[in-house]
Structure formats: C-alpha cells, structure tokens
C-alpha cells in the first residue's frame, strides 16, 4: 500500500473511532471536574496516526496536556503508542493523570513548561518523538475557575499564572511596571492601538482599588470604547495573560526545538487561538519548509468545522498547522504558497 493510501486508510479508521468517542471525551473530562472540550481532536489524532504509519511503538509528546483530551484520543487510536504529557499547571497534571490512569505505563505526565521539551526528552532518555502536539493557551477549566484570575466574568485575584508554584502574579507585576512598559505589553500581545491610554486606565484602576479580575474588567468596560460583541476588556486580559506567562517566549522555544526532535515521518501539530501565536507558528514552519518539496513539509492550515464551532464556540478561532518530517529518501510534497494563508 502506498504511503498516501495507507495514510488515508489510517485516517478513515481513526475518524471512525473518533466519532464514536466524541461524547465520551467530553463527559469524561467533565466527570473529573475538569471541564474542557477538546478542540480539533480528530484532525490532530489523524495526523498523529498517519505519522505512526502502523508502527506499534510510537512516542507522542503532548506539550499541553490540559484535561488530557488529545492524549486520550491518541492512546485510544494507537494501542501500542506511549504518550508523554507536559503541562505547567499542576491541576491539569492531576486531572489528566486521573483520567488516563487506565492506560498504565503508556502514559506519563511531567509538570513542566513546554519550552523545556528538549531537556525533558533528554532526561527521559528519549532521543526523538513520532509526534509532538501543542494546543496553546489556557483550558476552559482554568478560565472558569475564579481563583485562578483569568476570567473577566468572575471575581478572582489578579493572578493569571498557569503555574502557581512559581513566578509573579499579575498584581505583583502591575505593581512594578512602568506606564510605557505596560503599553508595550498591550500593543505586542493584544494588538491594542491606543496602548498608552489603555495602560494608564489599567494602572489607575488598580491603584484605585480594582484588586479582582471582575473589578478590573468593570473599570475597563466603563472607560474603553464599546464593541457590541466582545467585552471591551477581552484583549487587555489576553495581553496580560500572555505577558504573565511568557507565552510567546515559550512558543518560540518549542518551535525552535521541536522539528529537530521529530523522527523521520514524524509530525509537529500546533493549534493556536490568536494571530500573534499563529504568526509565530506559520513563520517557524515556513522557515523549516521553505520549498514545496524537501525534508520538511507544511500541511494546509485547518480550522474547526461549523458543527464543532456550534458545539464549542472556543473552537472558532482555532487554527491547526502541521509540519511533517519526510522519511529517508522520500522528499515530501508541501502545499503551494497560496494554499498556506
């Protein structure tokens, strides 16, 4: 069977299994008290199954374990595979470890930021991986847990750290930053044009006693221009979260190291949720696979379908990009430039 036919067959099998597991995946993460609906689960699983190409010893690294939704789908679709799951949030590590305990030694969780991917694989004695996946940002569980301080709807502390065992909280950072530095943060991570004015409102609000996320969001809403569909503080909160967690530095480290850690035929799959992330992913993948044929190939970017978006609005802004490493002597055929928006 040719590589293409084998891939299509594996994708078909995986999609069949995936469909019957869709409800299970949602409910099992909710039963564990960790509510998060996995985005583009079937597309990621199909790519990983194709990378494994029938081998029964695939090693998959899930860099953003979260509730374990992608990891579970992969462990089910590839009965011989092992998954190493990384997350910088201890509550995600605990929830996913409970959910995936039935897979025994096939699953292993590591509490660490994915910027340390290369180091972690070295420490575990793994030279490379069949697939490396990352589903960026925060989980619905993190957003919806008020005391984590991510949500503008809940009365939570100004924290926003994904890893509460280390680093400075949002409140601590805001107490130490200058107006100009905060404006740079808002411009770089939230695309906020009137960044000096917005930074001034943020700092004044905190100085005047806005010591919770809901209070800060209310003050911002009272003073920022209104958009009918989106809360006026949404982009400010996004920028603050990216800053507190050094998210783009982490992503750059992952994109720098992951291609060199892929086995032949392996795949890097990254789901991003806003333009700043997606730009970095696109640029890094283009740099690895500059031509249509070569050692690395870019897949066409994928978005969630209407049905998935209807069931899970969070999927609306998701964009999946794939980078494949060719097998020996088998140059890959990538998309034309105009296919790769």
Ligand X SMILES: C[S@@+](CC[C@H](N)C(=O)[O-])C[C@H]1O[C@@H](n2cnc3c(N)ncnc32)[C@H](O)[C@@H]1O
**Measured from the CB of residue 182, what is the shortest distance to ligand X in angstroms?**
22
Enclosing H/E stretch for 182: helix 179-190
**Measured from the CB of residue 327, what is the shortest distance to ligand X in angstroms?**
27
**Measured from the CB of residue 329, what is the shortest distance to ligand X in angstroms?**
34
CA atoms of 164 and 169, how far apart (whole Å)? 8
Q: How many residues does the chain have?
A: 341
CA atoms of 279 and 273, how far apart (whole Å)? 11
Q: What is the phi/psi pair of residue 212, to 5°? A: -130, 165
CB 95 within 8 A of CB 34: yes
Nearer CB in complex with ligand X: 202/242: 242
Burial class (CB in 10 A: 0-12, 13-18, 19+), 59: buried
Burial class (CB in 10 A: 0-12, 13-18, 19+), 298: buried
- The contact set with ligand X (CB under 6 A) reads 36, 38, 64, 66-70, 86-89, 92, 113-115, 135, 137-139, 162, 250
Nearer CB in complex with ligand X: 11/62: 62
**Measured from the CB of residue 199, what is the shortest distance to ligand X in angstroms?**
24
Nearer CB in complex with ligand X: 51/244: 244
**Measured from the CB of residue 184, what is the shortest distance to ligand X in angstroms?**
21
294: nearest Cα among 303, 302, 282, 285: 285
Helix (H, G, I), strand (E, B) or coil at 31: helix
How many CB atoms lie under 10 A from the CB of residue 313?
Answer: 11
Nearer CB in complex with ligand X: 36/298: 36
CB 40 within 8 A of CB 318: yes
Nearer CB in complex with ligand X: 69/266: 69
**Measured from the CB of residue 251, what is the shortest distance to ligand X in angstroms?**
7
- Write out the two tokens for 197: 């004015």
**Measured from the CB of residue 11, what is the shortest distance to ligand X in angstroms?**
19
CA atoms of 142 and 149, how far apart (whole Å)? 9
Nearer CB in complex with ligand X: 36/282: 36
CB nearest ligand X: which residue? 66
Nearer CB in complex with ligand X: 58/255: 255
């Amino acid at each position: 069977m040719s590589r293409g036919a084998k891939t299509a067959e594996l994708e078909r099998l995986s999609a069949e299994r995936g469909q019957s597991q869709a409800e299970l995946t949602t409910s099992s993460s909710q039963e564990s008290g960790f509510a998060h609906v996995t985005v583009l689960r079937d597309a990621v699983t199909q790519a990983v199954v194709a990378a494994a190409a029938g081998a029964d010893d695939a090693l998959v690294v899930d860099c953003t374990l979260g509730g374990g939704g992608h990891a579970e789908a992969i462990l089910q679709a590839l009965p011989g595979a092992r998954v190493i799951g990384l997350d910088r949030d201890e509550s995600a590590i605990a929830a996913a470890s409970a959910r995936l305990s039935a897979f025994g030694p096939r699953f292993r969780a590591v509490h660490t930021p994915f910027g340390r991917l290369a180091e972690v694989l070295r420490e575990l004695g793994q030279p490379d991986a069949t697939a490396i996946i990352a589903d960026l940002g925060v989980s619905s569980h993190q957003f919806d847990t008020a005391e984590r301080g991510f949500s503008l709807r809940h009365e939570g502390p100004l924290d926003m750290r994904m890893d509460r065992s280390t680093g400075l909280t949002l409140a601590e950072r805001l107490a130490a930053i200058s107006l100009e530095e905060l404006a740079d943060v808002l411009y770089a991570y939230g695309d906020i044009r009137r960044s000096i004015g917005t930074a001034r409102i943020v700092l004044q609000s905190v100085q005047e006693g806005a010591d919770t996320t809901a209070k800060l969001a209310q003050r911002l809403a009272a003073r920022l221009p209104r958009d009918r569909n989106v809360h006026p503080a949404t982009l400010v909160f996004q920028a603050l979260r990216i800053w507190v967690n050094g998210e783009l530095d982490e992503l750059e480290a992952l994109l720098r190291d992951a291609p060199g850690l892929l086995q032949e035929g392996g795949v890097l799959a990254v789901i991003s949720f806003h333009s700043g992330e997606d730009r970095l992913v696109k640029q890094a993948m283009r740099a690895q696979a500059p031509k249509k044929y070569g050692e690395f190939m870019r897949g066409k970017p994928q978005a969630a379908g209407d049905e998935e978006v209807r069931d899970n609005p969070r999927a609306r802004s998701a964009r999946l990009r794939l980078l494949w490493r060719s097998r020996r002597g088998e140059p890959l055929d990538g998309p034309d430039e105009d296919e790769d928006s």
